[in-house]
Amino acid sequence: MRIAKIFPLLMIWLASLPAIAQVPEVPSVIYFADMTLQLNEQARREIQADVNALYRNPQYFQIKLDRVNLYMPIVERVLREQGVPDDLKYLVIQESSLISDAVSTSNAVGFWQFKKGTAEEVFLRVDNQVDERKNIVSSTRGAALYLKKHQGHLNNWATALVSYQMGLGGARGYFGDQYKGKRTMEIDRNSHWYLKKYLAHKIAFEGQTGKLVSNGDYLHEYTVKGPTTLAEVARQLGVSENHLKDYNKWAPTGTIPGDKTYVVTYIQKGIAPVRPAIQTDLPPTEKGQTGPVLAQSGQVSPYPKVTGNTSKATQRGQVSVNGIKAVMASASGPITQLANQVDMKEKKLRRLNDLSKSDPIQAGQYYYTKRKRGKAEATEHVVQAGETLWKISQIHGIRVHSLKAKNRIYQDKDLKPGMVLLLQDYRKRGEEIKMASPTPRPSAPVRTETRLADTGNRPQASSSNTVTSQVAPRVSQTTSPSTTTTLPASIIEHVVEPGDTLYAISRKHQVTVEQLKQWNQIGADNLLKVGQKLVIRK
């Protein structure tokens, strides 16, 4: 009788738990940053045990996952701006579970767990008025600087990651030079615990990030130059002062000084820019159309081609994208809103745009209202950093399954910058995919770093909100007529793009990191700037 009473209650409680995906299995090979990590069976089991522990309590996992998905777009953006590999974003989960005022037993504080002295080394302000360790933007930028500095000495992202826990001197003493410059590592029972703990967090969360928070919350950023107060900013934003205090614990007294610009964060619901379609807030072309601006270039790509009455783009039947009827979303949120806007069944709209039920719509973006084609107008597309199969399909108005079939590529992880994808013909079985170096791009103030920083095409973790297509076809490296530089045949230029590292550039052009540094007078900090032109001698 007692069991009969308890059982229904137990079933109700289980049904109320958030739906969490099956515990991911740790593979024997993990790709991390620019490295390949090979796990022996003992290490794999050890990491699997940590992954299982993270999933053990579904309610606790969901709470943490919501916090992760709330802050992660900002973390991804800042790391991308600083040229740090996207994989390093999982480190902040390991450090603090993204609790802004977390404090460790060693008195490390904040999102990235900085001690006061270390925080000041990476230009974070820590005093009675401001503690930037608790500011998601400032602290992530500080962590990126810290990691890049150590990477410059260690030349190995895995050991640089461990140095985050034990310091540069500790990592040098622990690893020596045995992994310097290495891009493969074997992980076994003797591998550093901090690296294995990180890998558990990467495996546990990489399939879960890039989604809307379960209650629809979305974290907005608002730049403020003081002196002012959170109370005044709250009035400007139309939120309560207590709300700002909850999400801005870096300003404990409620005052924002005037020494520099700070970022205030606050919550809104249901307008996260998850999986944007075609960027529209861009400069007009000569024909009055709009098109994606190439990152830091000032050049407007002919794809996607937007034609029609753009002043009424939110009304069905007024504009076409790549010659296919499309509409601009007037509001962000679930796809139901867009379906109501264009008086179309939700299922059909999803099918036309290769969207799933969980993919929300972003205001100001174009979505197709007629079927995309089996082949595009352009013949080829050169893959840019951060692009996905879905994004490329939207750029050219080609169905995703057609794009996959033509190129025999079925997963985003198989895309690499510089790949030349076919948009009309099929790649023959066994035929290698051609590679093309991205065209050098001039620096121009058409797209600022702030715009480049917009959160990206998700649920894929490493994407960009700016659609960065190239003029197709383009197979070999050339320079734009407007930016032609007269160089000897043995010398080429590489224009630094978001996410570029010296190592990645050296691999692309088959030179060494030391050669790059010598040719371009790059110091020991290995710092690069977006738009910077590097000379490469072949």
Kindly give the confidence (pLDDT) of every residue in the chain, 538 residues in length, as a single tens digit, with 9 standing for 90 and above.
454 555 555 444 444 444 455 889 999 999 998 899 999 999 999 999 999 999 999 888 988 988 998 999 899 989 988 889 989 999 999 999 999 999 998 899 999 999 999 999 999 999 999 999 999 999 999 999 999 999 999 999 999 999 999 999 999 999 999 999 999 999 999 999 999 999 999 999 987 766 656 656 778 888 888 899 999 999 888 889 999 999 999 999 999 999 988 999 998 764 444 333 443 333 333 333 333 333 322 333 467 888 888 777 888 888 888 889 999 887 777 888 888 888 899 889 999 999 887 777 776 678 999 999 999 988 888 888 777 898 899 989 999 989 998 998 888 888 888 888 999 988 888 788 888 754 443 333 222 222 223 333 333 333 333 333 332 333 333 333 333 344 444 678 888 775 566 766 776 777 777 788 888 888 765 667 767 888 888 6
Among the candidates 269, 295, 313, a domain finishes at 269
Does 177 lie in the same domain as 33?
yes
Does 254 lie in the same domain as 150?
no
Instruction: Report DSSP state, residue 439.
Output: P
Q: Angle CA(269)–CA(275)–CA(280) in degrees, nearest 5?
A: 95
Does 39 lie in the same domain as 120?
yes
For 277, the token pair is 């379609």
CATH code where residue 229 lies? 3.10.350.10
pLDDT of residue 176: 93
CA 32 to chain centre: 15
- Provide the residue range defining the domain that includes 244: 217-269
Residue written as tokens 């870096």?
Answer: 250
Among the candidates 253, 269, 285, a domain finishes at 269
CATH code where residue 184 lies? 1.10.530
Angle of helix 136-154 relative to helix 157-175, nearest 10 degrees, comes to 60
Is 399 a domain residue? no
Does 114 lie in the same domain as 38?
yes
**CB proximity list for 49: less than 8 A, separation 6 or greater:** none
**Contact (Cβ atoms closer than 8 angstroms) between residue 111 and residue 134:** yes
Q: Which of 432, 421, 400, 410 is nearest to 469 (CA)?
A: 421
pTM of the model: 0.52
Does 254 lie in the same domain as 121?
no
pLDDT of residue 4: 52
Distance CA 126, CA 117 (A): 9
Does 154 lie in the same domain as 39?
yes
Is 447 a domain residue? no
Residue written as tokens 């826990």?
Answer: 165
pLDDT of residue 522: 80
Distance CA 441, CA 450 (A): 18
Is 101 a domain residue? yes
Strand partners, 298: none
Does 226 lie in the same domain as 183?
no
Largest Cα–Cα separation, the chain: 90
Reduce the DSSP state of residue 11 to 3 states and report it: helix
Distance CA 289, CA 305 (A): 7
Residue written as tokens 């890998």?
Answer: 199
Strand partners, 492: 536
Q: Which of 294, 303, 304, 302 is nearest to 495 (CA)?
A: 294
Does 101 lie in the same domain as 151?
yes
pLDDT of residue 498: 56
Does 38 lie in the same domain as 165?
yes
Angle of helix 389-396 relative to helix 400-407, nearest 10 degrees, comes to 110
Distance CA 274, CA 363 (A): 10
Among the candidates 170, 205, 240, a domain finishes at 205
Cα separation values, 219 from 91, 253, 264, 303, 316, Å: 20, 22, 10, 31, 31
pLDDT of residue 1: 43
Is 446 a domain residue? no
Segment holding 367, helix H or strand E = strand 366-368
CA 155 to chain centre: 23
Give the helix ranges, DSSP H, for 56-192.
58-82, 90-96, 116-121, 136-154, 157-175
Does 72 lie in the same domain as 181?
yes
Distance CA 183, CA 501 (A): 14
Does 223 lie in the same domain as 200?
no
Does 172 lie in the same domain as 123?
yes
pLDDT of residue 463: 33
